[in-house]
Amino acid sequence: MRLPVRWTAHRRVVVVAAVLFFLLCLGMVSLPTTPTETSKPAEWHVNLTHKKLVHEHVHRVLEDPCHPGGTRAKLLALLPASGQSTQPFLWRDNPLPDDLFLFSPPFGFTGLQDKVKDLLQLLPASDSAPLPGRPSGTCRRCVVLGNGGILKGLELGPLIDQFDVVIRLNRGPLGEFSGDVGSRTSIRMSYPEGTPLHWIDTDPETVFVAVVYKGVDIGWTSAMMKKRAVPLWDWLFFWQKVPSEIPLQPQMVRLLNPNVIRETALDLLKYPKPRPRLWGWDQNIPTLGVSALNLASLLCDEVSLAGFGYNLSHRDVPLHYYDHLPMSVMQQQKMHNVDRETEFLQRLVKEGAIADLTGGIHCSFCPS
């Protein structure tokens, strides 16, 4: 018996809707979730003695002689010879090396070659996009701003602004928090879900570095560059709301070379190579903060960190400087190996490869 045309079309719509609903539910279950602001507010009281020591330490870092290539030279001792020519960004006028397509995001672009090439056509050429900060040829100091609650009340803003290059992560806000975290932004580095919903960076030289953690992130970046809506199908694979636009001109956007993340994971953190999985990740994805440290070593001569450190034993310490989530929230995430990263960063601070301005990783300036 042949069904009426109207019923066949209706049935097709129902089947498609059911499939979409199933994929949406699967994504909600399988992808990371972000805790809500309804968590128990974390209390934080600034230790005035520690605050004084932090300020003295930051002044020393800024006043000491700058050593050209200092941080990268120390990282290179941990890297194989293949890691000595890593390029931080991908450009419109540079060919894509074959090794970019050995792994899936965030370690590469397997199966995404055409989409990546289309995106690169929207990005600037390498010779027309200088790095914000001091002119090339001078010794640059970078500071990578984590979003840790340890920044609350330290009033480091004016000192943070004195660094040549200020790198901020994800949606870490300024505005009312500028007294603690500064008002300059040289680079804001983020993936779609972490990008500020309301852009409040006022620095006209701000560069946005797009980080690809999954294939649809390329489509989102392309849509932002073209000022178009993200395709509905792609929206199903975002686990949190993403902004519909970024108020920056195309020449102020960069695409992070996934080899920066791969180098961070495999060579610096010594994680095993990524393996195919039906869904989700192993705990071999570096946090954006450690990847930003590696990026900073390619852009600057000396690298400092501020607002870093996950002390999971202090469950009620605030996770971020801009909200009330407690540190215990980090125990819910399954993507990152926080303990391994902490050990790695502690080693770098103790060896003098980087400076920890706020002492959350290793407090070199604290009384024993």
Residue 331 has a pLDDT of 56
Q: Is residue 24 part of a domain?
A: no
For residue 355, pLDDT over 90 is answered with yes
Task: Tell me the pLDDT tens digit for each residue of 172-182.
Answer: 999 899 999 99
For residue 235, pLDDT over 90 is answered with no
For residue 326, pLDDT over 90 is answered with no
For residue 158, pLDDT over 70 is answered with yes
For residue 28, pLDDT over 60 is answered with no
CA distance 99 to 107: 10
Residue 361 has a pLDDT of 92
SS3 21: helix
* pLDDT band with cut points at 50, 70 and 90 for residue 24: very low
CATH number, domain of 175, equals 3.90.1480.20
Q: Is residue 46 part of a domain?
A: yes
Unique residue bearing structure tokens 């770098």: 348
Mean pLDDT (the chain, rounded) = 80
The model's pTM is 0.84
For residue 27, pLDDT over 60 is answered with no
Q: Is 178 within 8 Å of 157 (Cβ atoms)?
A: yes
SS3 39: coil
Read off the pLDDT of each residue in 202-230 and give the average, rounded to a whole number: 86
Q: Is residue 10 part of a domain?
A: no
Q: Is residue 58 part of a domain?
A: yes
Q: Is residue 186 part of a domain?
A: yes
Q: Is residue 173 part of a domain?
A: yes
Read off the pLDDT of each residue in 179-206 and give the average, rounded to a whole number: 87
Task: Tell me the pLDDT tens digit for each residue of 55-112.
Answer: 999 999 999 999 999 999 999 888 765 555 688 999 998 889 888 998 999 999 999 9
The DSSP code for 320 is: B
What pairs with residue 356 in β-bridges? 305
Look at the chain and report how many structural domains it folds into. 1
DSSP 189-250: EE-GGGS-SS-----TT-EEEE--SSTHHHHHHHHHHHT-PPPHHHHTT-SS---S-----G
Q: Is residue 215 part of a domain?
A: yes
What is the domain extent for residue 64? 31-356
Q: Is residue 8 part of a domain?
A: no
* pLDDT band with cut points at 50, 70 and 90 for residue 240: confident
The DSSP code for 70 is: H
CA distance 283 to 39: 25
Better-predicted residue by pLDDT, 318 or 304: 304
Task: Tell me the pLDDT tens digit for each residue of 297-317.
Answer: 999 999 999 999 866 555 556
Q: Is 226 within 8 Å of 122 (Cβ atoms)?
A: yes
Residue 134 has a pLDDT of 59
